[in-house]
């Protein structure tokens, strides 16, 4: 199974388990995560959700072969990835991300919707949408500037270059950076502390923090998805994806 789930002592763990493909995410994996989140939301015994990757990779983002094999005129809002993100955005229970290795594309976007992010010293982050002829997705064009400031967000979204866990922590994207060998134990200690607290208090606290801007985030997601869906069919995106599969540098100079 490429997505592993387990429940223990009030903690639902959702683990990316496709290391041979750098934990890149297929449509079927998105469906499985969406279902796991829905189950966690509806299960009173689940108090906290933890996202987990592998020691050397959190997620390389979308599986590009799978992504491009689906109907290209399909609106992004109708793809399984949207169900996953909607369930994550609306989840009322605390979500902790345990990030080791690279988090790329939606591997970073999803973190903006988590409540706590703890990263290992080997973690890196990247949002390379512009390099693929695309635009930010699922609220990241709003949430990233709110989190790290406009200039830092512009730098990360324009260039799409990887940045370190330490820089992410200094920007306010990551709560804490720990040695690789200590991270998982620390995350589950934090999760256990949350699971022992009153569920109603955590739900109310999270709601008070998030609900004030949730509708604006939803509006931004719809706006981004409309642009993203059109841009997937653009000549620039076709050139970017062709270059990726052909292992060459894309040439965007022919496009205005």
Mean pLDDT of 195-214: 94
> What is the pLDDT at residue 23?
98
Phi, psi for 175 (deg, rounded to 5): -70, -45
**Encoding tokens for residue 97?**
């991300």
Contact residues for 29 (Cβ-Cβ < 8 A; gap 6+): 2, 3, 16, 18
Helix (H/G/I), strand (E/B), else coil: 24:
coil
| 16 in a structural domain | yes
Query: How much of the chain exceeds pLDDT 90, in percent?
Result: 83
Mean pLDDT of 38-62: 97
Mean pLDDT of 148-176: 97
| 187 in a structural domain | no
Mean pLDDT of 205-226: 91
Place of tokens 């998982």: 184
Task: Render pLDDT for 51-66 as a digit per residue (tens, 0 to 9).
Answer: 999 999 999 999 988 8
What span, in angstroms and rounded, lies between the C-alpha atoms of 216 and 195?
A: 29
| 242 in a structural domain | no
Which DSSP string do the residues of 166-187 spell out, in sequence order? Answer: HHHHHHTS-SEEE-HHHHHHHH
Q: Name the pTM for this structure.
A: 0.94
Structure confidence at residue 70 as a pLDDT band (50, 70, 90): low
Q: Check whether 71 has a pLDDT greater than 70.
A: no
Phi, psi for 122 (deg, rounded to 5): -90, 5
**Encoding tokens for residue 62?**
């979308």
CATH of the domain at 41: 3.90.226.10
> What is the pLDDT at residue 57?
98
| 206 in a structural domain | no
Mean pLDDT of 130-150: 95
| 228 in a structural domain | no
Query: How much of the chain exceeds pLDDT 70, in percent?
Result: 98
Closest to 42 (Cα-Cα) out of 17, 7, 77, 15: 7
Which helix (DSSP H) or strand (DSSP E) does residue 221 occupy?
A: helix 199-231
Domain limits for position 70 = 3-180
> What is the pLDDT at residue 165?
98
**Encoding tokens for residue 207?**
């709601």
> What is the pLDDT at residue 215?
87
What span, in angstroms and rounded, lies between the C-alpha atoms of 54 and 36?
A: 19
Q: Check whether 209 has a pLDDT greater than 80.
A: yes
Which DSSP string do the residues of 90-148 spell out, in sequence order? Answer: H--S-EEEEE-SEEETHHHHGGGGSSEEEEETT-EEE--TGGGT----TTHHHHHHHHH
Q: Check whether 77 has a pLDDT greater than 80.
A: no
Q: Check whether 76 has a pLDDT greater than 80.
A: no
Positive or negative, the CA dihedral 136, 141, 145, 146 is negative
Which DSSP string do the residues of 25-82 spell out, in sequence order? Answer: B-HHHHHHHHHHHHHHHH-TT--EEEEE-BTTEEE--B-HHHHHHS-TTS-GGGSHHH
| 221 in a structural domain | no
Mean pLDDT of 142-154: 97
What span, in angstroms and rounded, lies between the C-alpha atoms of 39 and 105?
A: 25
| 244 in a structural domain | no
Average pLDDT, the chain: 94
Structure confidence at residue 213 as a pLDDT band (50, 70, 90): confident
| 134 in a structural domain | yes
Q: Check whether 74 has a pLDDT greater than 90.
A: no
Lowest mean pLDDT among 129-138, 143-152, 242-251: 242-251
CA 109 to chain centre: 4
Q: Check whether 73 has a pLDDT greater than 60.
A: no
> What is the pLDDT at residue 31?
97
CB atoms inside a 10 Å sphere around CB 89: 18
Mean pLDDT of 194-213: 94
**Encoding tokens for residue 99?**
């990030």
Give me the number of domains the chain comprises: 1
Helix (H/G/I), strand (E/B), else coil: 15:
strand
């Amino acid at each position: 199974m490429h997505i592993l789930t387990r429940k223990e002592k009030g903690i639902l763990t959702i683990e990316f388990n496709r290391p041979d493909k750098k934990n890149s995410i297929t449509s079927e994996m998105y469906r499985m995560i969406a279902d796991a989140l829905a189950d966690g939301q509806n299960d009173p015994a689940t108090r906290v959700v933890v996202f987990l990757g592998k020691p050397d990779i959190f997620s390389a983002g979308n599986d590009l072969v799978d992504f491009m094999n689906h109907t290209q005129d399909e609106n992004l809002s109708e793809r399984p990835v949207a169900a996953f993100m909607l369930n994550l955005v609306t989840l009322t229970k605390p979500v902790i991300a345990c990030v080791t290795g690279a988090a790329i594309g939606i591997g970073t976007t999803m973190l903006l919707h988590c409540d706590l992010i703890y990263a290992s010293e080997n973690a890196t982050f990247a949002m390379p949408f512009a390099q693929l002829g695309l635009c930010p997705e699922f609220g990241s064009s709003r949430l990233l500037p709110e989190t790290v400031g406009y200039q830092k967000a512009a730098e990360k979204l324009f260039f799409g270059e990887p940045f370190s866990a330490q820089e992410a922590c200094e920007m306010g994207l990551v709560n804490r950076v720990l040695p690789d060998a200590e991270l998982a134990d620390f995350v589950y200690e934090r999760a256990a502390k949350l699971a022992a607290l009153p569920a109603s208090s955590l739900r109310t606290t999270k709601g008070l923090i998030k609900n004030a801007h949730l509708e604006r985030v939803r509006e931004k997601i719809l706006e981004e998805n409309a642009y993203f869906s059109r841009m997937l069919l653009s000549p620039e995106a076709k050139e970017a994806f062709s270059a990726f599969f052909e292992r060459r540098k894309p040439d965007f100079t022919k496009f205005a």
